[in-house]
Amino acid sequence: MEMTLKSLSVLTGATLRGDPEIAIRGVATLQDARPGDITFLANQRYRSCLADTRASAVILSAEHAEACPIACLVTDNPYLAHARVLTAFHPQPPVASGVDPSSVVEPSASVAASASVGPGCYIGADVVIGENVEIGPGCVLLRGAVVGRDSRLVASVTLGHETRLGERCLIHPGAVIGSDGFGLANDDGAWVKVPQVGRAILGDDVEIGSCSSVDRGAIGDTVLEDGVKIDSQVHVAHNVQIGRHTAIAGCAAIAGSSKVGAYCTIAGGAGITGHVELTDHVHVSGVTSVTRSIREPGLYTGTVPAMEHGVWLKNFARLRQLDDMARRIRKLEKALADLRSDETPSQ
Amino acid sequence: MEMTLKSLSVLTGATLRGDPEIAIRGVATLQDARPGDITFLANQRYRSCLADTRASAVILSAEHAEACPIACLVTDNPYLAHARVLTAFHPQPPVASGVDPSSVVEPSASVAASASVGPGCYIGADVVIGENVEIGPGCVLLRGAVVGRDSRLVASVTLGHETRLGERCLIHPGAVIGSDGFGLANDDGAWVKVPQVGRAILGDDVEIGSCSSVDRGAIGDTVLEDGVKIDSQVHVAHNVQIGRHTAIAGCAAIAGSSKVGAYCTIAGGAGITGHVELTDHVHVSGVTSVTRSIREPGLYTGTVPAMEHGVWLKNFARLRQLDDMARRIRKLEKALADLRSDETPSQ
Amino acid sequence: MEMTLKSLSVLTGATLRGDPEIAIRGVATLQDARPGDITFLANQRYRSCLADTRASAVILSAEHAEACPIACLVTDNPYLAHARVLTAFHPQPPVASGVDPSSVVEPSASVAASASVGPGCYIGADVVIGENVEIGPGCVLLRGAVVGRDSRLVASVTLGHETRLGERCLIHPGAVIGSDGFGLANDDGAWVKVPQVGRAILGDDVEIGSCSSVDRGAIGDTVLEDGVKIDSQVHVAHNVQIGRHTAIAGCAAIAGSSKVGAYCTIAGGAGITGHVELTDHVHVSGVTSVTRSIREPGLYTGTVPAMEHGVWLKNFARLRQLDDMARRIRKLEKALADLRSDETPSQ
C-alpha cells in the first residue's frame, strides 16, 4: 500500500509542510523508520531522535515543526493522527462470512448472513450475532448472548449466558465476559452460593484485553458504557458500573458494586474497593488502592516506590511506629514550648 | 415460577410476618423490586430504601422488622435466606446427558451415563467423569483428571493431567487447574525446569472463578479442602494448601508452599508470600501482603490508601527517611531530657 | 523405572557416598520419602528432617554430608541435581505425531511430519509448526504464527497472528501470546484504537505459565529472549523487552515499552511501570512497584507488610502526615539548638 503525504494530511486533518506528493508506504518509530515511512513524535522523551530519523515524513505538533528537518504533518494531537494513519495502513483482513463446519450452532441461535463464525466455536441457544460480526476460532457463546454488529471476538473468547455486547466491540483471546461474580452467604462457617442472576452488559466500542474477566451481576447487571477500554488481565467484578470512555490498564481490578465515572483512567495494577463511587474524570495512578469514594476529579496515588533492599529494611519496619512517632513529636513540641515559657520569666 | 410467602418461609426457616398467601414471582434489590418480588435487607447501607420499596415482601433481621411497612420474613441471616430464595427461583437449567459428537473422548476415559459433555471438548485418556457432571463447551481435561459427581465445568475450563475435583465443584470459564507450578533450578545463570509431578486436588463444593490458576504441586500436591471458594483472576501456586471454607477474592495470590487455614478470608488483590502458614480464622484485607506466618486469628491489613497526587508526592518521598526521622526523634528526646536535668539543679 | 545411585551420580555429576548399587525408584521430599526414594536437601528450612527421613538416599551439599545418616549424592547445587533426577524419573509421555482429525488446519499452514496437533485445535493460514512440536488440545494459532522445534503448547493456548516461538518453548494452558497491547489515542475524550502492528517474539527455552498474557508490540516487537521463564497470571505489555534467563513470578506485570535486563528475577505480584529500564542482575521483591529505571544490580523492595488491623489503622492514617512530621522534627531540632546556644552564654 502507498499513500501520498497529501492524502494522509486529508485523512488526519493535519497541516502539511513539505512536498505533498511524497509517497508513504508504512509507519515506524523515529528510530526504526526508513525512507518511505512516516513516523511521529508524540512523547517528549523521543524528541532528540527527530534530527536523525531516516523517515520521509513525521507527524508532530506545532512546537516541534520548526526543528523538523523533513516533511511533516502538523497537528494538535500527533498521537491521534498517527493512530489514524496506522489504521489506514493496516486494515483488518476481510473474513469470509458464514459458519465454519467444525463449529456447533444451536438451532435457536441467530447468526447474521454477513457474520463469520470461525472453527471450533460453540454458539448456544438463543444467541444473536449481528451483521459483520467476526467470531474467531475457539469462542464459546453461552445461551442468550448477544453480539452487536461489527463486533469482533478475536479468538478463544467466552461469553456467559445472556451477556450483551454493543456494536464495534473488540474482545481479545482468553477474555471471559459474563461469568459468575463472587457471591457467597455464610451459613455457620460454610459458604452458600448466591446465584448470580444479573448480566454483563457492554455498550458500543468497548474493548476487552486478553485474559480479562468481566463478571455478570448478582441481581442487576454489570455495565460497561460506550467506549470503555480495558487492557489484559483486568478484573471487573459483579455489579460494577463503568462510565463511558473510561480506560482501565493491565492487572487493575474493580471490586463488586463499585461505580467508576466517565472519562476516568485507572492505571496498571490499581484496585478500586467494593461499594465505592468515583466521579467523572478521576485518574488513578499505577498500583494504587482506592479505598473510599472519590468525589473530586483529579489524580489520586498511593504507589509505594521500590528502593534498595537495605533502605527498605531499615525504613519500613518504622511503618508500625508512625503513630508513636507522631505522638512523640507532639510531646516534644509541648515540652519545648513549656521549657521556653519557663525560661521567659527567668530572663 | 410462583411461590407463596409461606413456602419461602418454610424454605428459609424464617418467621413470616404478614399474609402467608402472597404470591412471589421473583427476587430483586430494594430499589429495583416491583410488586410480586421479594427483596432483602442484608447491608445497613441500604436500610433507608426499606420505606420506599415496591416489593411485595422483604427478608430482614428482627431489628428491622418493626420498621418494615410490608410483609416480611424475619431471620438472623437475611443474606443467607435471600441466597436460598434466589436459588429456588433460578434452578440450573437441566442439561441432556451424553457426549456431544463434536467432542473427542479417549477410549480409556470413563464418562458416567448421567453426565453431559458439551461441544468441542477434549476428554483425555483415563479421565473419570462422575454422575450428573456437566462439562460445558470448550473444556479440555487432560489424562487422568477426575471430576466428582454433580460438579460443573461451565465452559472453556482446562484441567491438567491427574487433577482431581470432588463433588459439587463449580469451575468457571478460563480457569486452569493443575497446570505446572513455577519450579526452576539455577544452573550457572540459566534456569533448568524442575518437573512438576504433584497434582491439584480439590475437595467437595469448591468453586473457582474465571481465568484463575490453581497450579499442580511440584512434588506432593496442591490441596484445596472442602468448601473453598475462589473468585476470578486468582493465583494459587504449587503446593499451596487451603483449609476448608476459606474464601479468596479476585486477583489475590497465594505463593508456593504456603498454607492457609480453614475459615479464612483473603480479600481482593491480597498476596500471601511463599512458605508461610496462616492459622484458621485469619482475615486478610484487600491489597495486603502477608510476608510472614500468622499464628493468631484476626484481621490483618497493609493497604496503602490512595490520596490526592500532590499529598502523595509530598509525603511518600519521606518513606525512605522514616528511620532517620525515628532516630532524630529519639535524639531530640534525649537532648530535651538532658536540658531539663541541666535546669533542675539551677532552680 | 529403577536407577542405581551410581547412575544418578553420573547423571548429576555429584559425588557418591555409600553403596553405588542402591536401587532408586522415585523422588520425594524429605518428609514423604519412603525406602526406594531419593530425596534432597536444598532449603535450610528442612535441614532438621534429614535425621528422620526414610529415603534410601539424599542429594545435598558438602556442608550437610557429614550429618547425613544415609547414602548421599554430594553436589554444590542440590536443587539442580534434584531437578535432573526428577526429569529422568518423569519423562514427558511420547505423543503420536500427526494432526487430530477434529482440528482445522488452513491449507497454507505447514506442520512438520514429526509434530503433533491435538484435538480441537485451529491452525491458521501460513502458520509454521516445527519438528517434534506438540500442540495440545484446544489451541488456537492465528495466521502466520511460528512455533520452533521441540516446543510444546500444553493445551488451550492462543497465539496471536505472526507470533514467533523459538525452540523448546513450553506454554501452559490459558496463556495468550501476541494479543493486542493497550494502545489508545485520545480524541476529545473518546479513545481511538492504535493498531497494534508489532509482534510477540519469544526466544528458545522460554516458558509461559497458565493464564498469562504476553501482548504483541504496537510498532516494533515485544521480545522475550532465550531462557526467559514466566509464571502464571503474568502480564507482559506491548513492546516490553526481557533479557535472557530472567524469571518473572506469578501475578507480576511489566508495563509497556519497559526493558528488563538479563538474569533478573521479578518476584510475585511485583510491577514494573512503563518506559523504564532495568539493568542486568536486578532482583525485585514480591509486590514491589518499580517506578523508575534501575541502573545498579541488586535487590529492590517496596513491600508493605501486613500488620494487625488495629496497628494498621492507627499508623497508616499518618502516611499523609509524613512530610509534616519531618518538617516538625527539623523545626524541633532548630529550636533546641537555639535553646542550647541561648544557654551557653548563661553558664
DSSP string, C203-223: -TT-EE-TT-EEEPPSSS-EE
pLDDT greater than 90 at residue B342: no
Report the Cα–Cα distance between both ends of chain B, in Å, rounded.
Answer: 91
How far does B6 lie from chain C, in Å, by closest CA?
43
Backbone Cα Rg of chain A: 27
Query: Active-site residue numbers of B?
Result: 238
- Whether B284 and chain A come into contact, CB under 8 Å, resolves to no
Average pLDDT over residues A75-82: 96
Q: Considering chain A, what is the average pLDDT of its residues? A: 96
- Whether B138 and chain A come into contact, CB under 8 Å, resolves to yes
C118 contacts on B by Cβ (under 8 Å): 122
**What is the distance between the alpha carbons of residues A79 and C63, in angstroms, rounded to a whole number?**
61
By 3-state DSSP, what share of chain A in percent is helix, strand and coil, each rounded to 5?
20, 30, 50
**What is the distance between the alpha carbons of residues A206 and A229, in angstroms, rounded to a whole number?**
6
Kindly report the number of other CB atoms within 10 A of residue B131's CB atom. 14
- Whether A27 and chain C come into contact, CB under 8 Å, resolves to yes
How far does B66 lie from chain C, in Å, by closest CA?
35
Question: C176 with C139: CB under 8 angstroms?
Answer: no
Which H or E element spans position A255? none
Question: C257 with B207: CB under 8 angstroms?
Answer: no
Interface contact flag, A211 C215, Cβ < 8 Å: no
B79 contacts on A by Cβ (under 8 Å): 185-186, 194
pLDDT of residue A67: 87
pLDDT greater than 70 at residue B343: no
Tens-place pLDDT, residues A199-242: 999 999 999 999 999 999 999 999 999 999 999 999 999 999 99
In DSSP terms, A179 is beta-bridged to A215
**What is the distance between the alpha carbons of residues A216 and B112, in angstroms, rounded to a whole number?**
31
Better-predicted residue by pLDDT, C47 or B101: B101
CA C302 vs. chain centroid, Å, equals 20
pLDDT of residue B344: 59
Of these residues, A64, A161, A172, A238, which one is catalytic?
A: A238
Tens-place pLDDT, residues C48-71: 889 899 999 999 999 999 889 999
Dihedral, CA atoms, A82, A84, A89, A95, nearest 10 degrees?
140
Model confidence band, residue C287 (pLDDT cutoffs 50, 70, 90): very high
Question: A248 with A266: CB under 8 angstroms?
Answer: yes
C274 contacts on A by Cβ (under 8 Å): 268
C 308-327 residues inside an 8 A Cβ radius of A: 311, 314-319, 321-322, 325
Model confidence band, residue B347 (pLDDT cutoffs 50, 70, 90): very low
pLDDT greater than 90 at residue B152: yes
A&B contacts, CB < 8 Å: 242
The beta-carbon neighbor of B339 closest among C170, C247, C339 is C339
Question: A293 with A277: CB under 8 angstroms?
Answer: yes
B305 contacts on C by Cβ (under 8 Å): 316, 319
Nearest residue to A183 via CA among B128, C148, B207: B207
Kindly report the number of other CB atoms within 10 A of residue A164's CB atom. 21
**What is the distance between the alpha carbons of residues A217 and C145, in angstroms, rounded to a whole number?**
37
Which H or E element spans position C42? none
Chains in contact with C, where contact requires at least 3 CB pairs less than 8 Å apart: A, B
Interface contact flag, A322 C305, Cβ < 8 Å: no
Interface contact flag, C287 B271, Cβ < 8 Å: yes
Tens-place pLDDT, residues C183-213: 999 999 999 999 999 999 999 999 999 999 9
pLDDT of residue B45: 82
Q: Find which of B163, B194, B238, B333 to mutate to test the C interface (most C CBs within 10 Å of its CB).
A: B194
Interface contact flag, B187 C325, Cβ < 8 Å: no
Q: Find which of B151, B232, B346 to mutate to test the A interface (most A CBs within 10 Å of its CB).
A: B232
DSSP string, A108-175: T-EE-TT-EE-TT-EE-TT-EE-TT-EE-TT-EE-TT-EE-TT-EE-SS-EE-TT-EE-TT-EE-TT-
Interface contact flag, C194 A79, Cβ < 8 Å: yes
Interface contact flag, A120 C140, Cβ < 8 Å: yes
The beta-carbon neighbor of B290 closest among C120, C306, C323 is C306
Tens-place pLDDT, residues B117-130: 999 999 999 999 99
A 82-121 residues inside an 8 A Cβ radius of C: 82-84, 86-87, 90, 93, 100, 102, 118-120
B&C contacts, CB < 8 Å: 242
Tens-place pLDDT, residues C228-250: 999 999 999 999 999 999 999 99
C336 contacts on B by Cβ (under 8 Å): 332, 335-336, 339
B340 contacts on A by Cβ (under 8 Å): 335, 339
The beta-carbon neighbor of B333 closest among A143, A187, A332 is A332
Residue of C nearest to A91 (CA): C195
Interface contact flag, A182 B77, Cβ < 8 Å: no
Q: Find which of C41, C77, C84, C156 to mutate to test the B interface (most B CBs within 10 Å of its CB).
A: C156
Dihedral, CA atoms, B295, B300, B302, B304, nearest 10 degrees?
180
**What is the distance between the alpha carbons of residues A12 and C307, in angstroms, rounded to a whole number?**
55
ipTM of predicted assembly, 2 dp: 0.96
Average pLDDT over residues A94-121: 97
- Whether B72 and chain A come into contact, CB under 8 Å, resolves to no
Would you call A308 exposed, middle or buried from its count of C-beta atoms within 10 A (0-12, 13-18, 19+)?
A: middle
φ, ψ for residue C64, nearest 5 deg: -100, -5
pLDDT > 70: percent of chain A: 99
Model confidence band, residue B47 (pLDDT cutoffs 50, 70, 90): confident
Model confidence band, residue A344 (pLDDT cutoffs 50, 70, 90): low
pLDDT of residue B339: 86
pLDDT of residue C44: 84
Dihedral, CA atoms, B82, B83, B86, B87, nearest 10 degrees?
-150
Question: B236 with B242: CB under 8 angstroms?
Answer: yes
SS3 at position C293: coil
- Whether B140 and chain C come into contact, CB under 8 Å, resolves to yes
C332 contacts on A by Cβ (under 8 Å): 329, 332-333, 336
Backbone Cα Rg of chain B: 27
C-alpha cell at position B226: 472442602
pLDDT of residue A347: 43
Q: Find which of C1, C158, C233 to mutate to test the B interface (most B CBs within 10 Å of its CB).
A: C233
C 178-237 residues inside an 8 A Cβ radius of B: 205, 207, 209-211, 227, 229, 231-233
Interface contact flag, C210 B211, Cβ < 8 Å: no
The beta-carbon neighbor of C219 closest among A27, A307, A309 is A27
Better-predicted residue by pLDDT, C101 or A51: C101
pLDDT greater than 90 at residue A160: yes
Kindly report the number of other CB atoms within 10 A of residue A87's CB atom. 17
Tens-place pLDDT, residues B153-162: 999 999 999 9
Place of cell 477410549: B107
SS3 at position A14: coil
Model confidence band, residue C347 (pLDDT cutoffs 50, 70, 90): very low
C195 contacts on A by Cβ (under 8 Å): 83, 86-87, 90
Model confidence band, residue B275 (pLDDT cutoffs 50, 70, 90): very high
B138 contacts on A by Cβ (under 8 Å): 120, 122, 138, 140, 158
Q: Find which of A39, A46, A134, A231 to mutate to test the C interface (most C CBs within 10 Å of its CB).
A: A231
Interface contact flag, B173 A176, Cβ < 8 Å: yes
Residue of A nearest to B320 (CA): A315
CA A320 vs. chain centroid, Å, equals 35
Least confident interval from A133-137, B65-69, B244-248, C111-115? B65-69
Tens-place pLDDT, residues C25-34: 999 999 999 9
**What is the distance between the alpha carbons of residues A65 and C28, in angstroms, rounded to a whole number?**
68
The answer to whether the Cα torsion of B70, B71, B75, B81 is positive or negative is negative
- Whether A289 and chain B come into contact, CB under 8 Å, resolves to yes
pLDDT greater than 60 at residue A184: yes
Residue of C nearest to B282 (CA): C308
